[in-house]
Amino acid sequence: MPRTSAVECPGCPPLRALTTDALGLIKVVEVHGNPGILKVVERWGQPDASSGVLAASYADDKIEPLLAVARKNGSVEILNSLNGESLCNTHTKQFGLLDTSRQDDHVVGLHLLKTKGINLFSRVATLLLCTENGNACLKSIPMSGVLHDSDIGSQMSFNVCSAGKILCSSLAKSENFALFGGKGVEVNKWDLGNCTRIWTAKSPRPNSLGLSPPPWFTAAAFLSEEDHRKIAAGTNNHQVRLYDTSAQRRPVMSVDYKETPIKAVCPDLHGYKVYVGNASGDLGSFDIRTGKLLGGFTGKCSGSIRSIRKHPELSVIASCGLDCYLRVWDTNTRQLLSTAFLKQHLTNVIFDSHFSYEGPGGNRHDQPSAIQVQDDDSAGNDESVEDEVLPSSRSSEASKMSKRSKTKKLDQEELPTSGNCQVYETKGTNEIKKRRSKIARQQDEDDGAGDTATQSEVEDGEKSSEKHGKRLKPKKRKVSA
């Protein structure tokens, strides 16, 4: 039976997260108070295995944030992430993809263009969608409920691979470039302005046996918001690779992590870290400058990690996967802050960076300081109690001391001096003399009683010895002449 260890969760700061699962449900999880625990506050949709969420994208707008989800049955839906209202519902067949006849051609990549693809006044949203067979499409969709073929706006379709299976995709912060990779497909970068491939990765150099593993990418992401040339990718061979598209096609750095395939990669866009999760539930962080493993996160997950997300403002990350748990971690200490069991296999987690909460009773940061003050007061009370108890203990010890030691102590107490000069007097001279004379008289009486007892014992001893001497004195024998 495997060993398990309990991990204490100190709680996490106020935040709001949205999760999607394999049954098509969207759950809103919030933390109220600081620190607090994760709690499910809303659930949108009905459980249905055919409508499981395969991909999700979030437009973090302060006025009207949008959430786009692609489901297993081929539907694509755009919702208001504040109340779950459905703003648009369409199907992949209406996107005009090149191969929509295959039932297994599921959506693996969905990206909602935020900066220039959403127009709230004209109610138009732009989506980038990619399927397993490499069919990609960039379309503008009006948000007017259920759409028909005639409602689809401008579109651009292209094929990102001629063979293989696409498993991962990513969109740059500038929304001008996109990444695609998969099984039998090297990581390649596309320019979305004219839908052309501008860079393709090359396999690492062969090993000592002259063998090179076939490409099998399971996760990919851009490392920086400003620079689209740095790419991090995870492979099925438990490798984390770092690419620089401006330098070379082969990876500039490649490190192994554990023994299972990499399933999720999340860069710290404001730093030099990349967070990696694998199929066995291990979560770790790497320094992309040196390739060194900074450490693993405390509290191992019990299932494959499918999504990792870094909070835009707070120093926390969230992870979810097949163990049905949503976990929030501290990026500095790599400590588990809070968990929530959500009952279904989770596929994606997304943070709402504009969420704020103020408790009715004020900020909960004041509680630890109040506790500290209370502890200080109790410590003071303990000291006073100890001071009250000490005299009795000292008196009991003094009762066991001899009277001569009392006199010596009194002398030390009486006139503490420094050198030949008297410094101070702690008690009145007359009182000290009275105490000394009283102790001296008591000693004399005790000594006299002891001497009298000794004298009487000596006399009794002499008499007894004379008596015994008379008994033991041998009688003189008369000798006849």
Farthest CA pair distance, the chain:
173
Express each pLDDT in 14-38 by its tens digit.
999 999 999 999 999 999 887 889 9
Q: Which tokens hold the place of 232?
A: 């991090």
Q: pLDDT value at position 223?
A: 92
Q: State yes or no: pLDDT of 224 exceeds 90.
A: no
Express each pLDDT in 288-308 by its tens digit.
999 999 999 987 778 999 999
Q: pLDDT value at position 426?
A: 42
The residue-averaged pLDDT of 424-438 equals 60
Residue 115 or 286, more confident: 286
Residue type present at position 330: D
Which residues fall within 8 angstroms of residue 472, CB to CB, at 6 or more apart? Answer: none
Among 440, 420, 437, smallest CA distance to 429 is for: 437
- Reported confidence tier of residue 409, pLDDT bands at 50, 70, 90: very low
Long-range contact set of residues 211-214: C-beta below 8 Å, sequence gap at least 24: 213/237, 214/184
- Cα separations in angstroms, 292 against 65, 248, 334: 37, 21, 16
- Alpha carbon 5 to its chain's center: 16
Q: State yes or no: pLDDT of 170 exceeds 70.
A: yes
pTM flag (> 0.85): no
Q: Which tokens hold the place of 237?
A: 């061979």
By the 8 A CB rule, do 36 and 18 touch? no
Q: State yes or no: pLDDT of 86 exceeds 70.
A: yes
- Beta strand extents in 201-261 (DSSP E only): 217-222, 230-235, 239-244, 253-256
- Please tell me which of 174-183, 397-406, 445-454 the model is most confident about, judged by mean pLDDT: 174-183
Q: State yes or no: pLDDT of 328 exceeds 50.
A: yes
Residue 263 or 452, more confident: 263
How far apart, in whole angstroms, are the C-alpha atoms of residue 416 and residue 411? 9
Q: State yes or no: pLDDT of 480 exceeds 60.
A: no
- Alpha carbon 431 to its chain's center: 69
- Reported confidence tier of residue 351, pLDDT bands at 50, 70, 90: very high
Please report, in angstroms and rounded to a whole number, the separation of the first and last CA atoms in the chain.
117
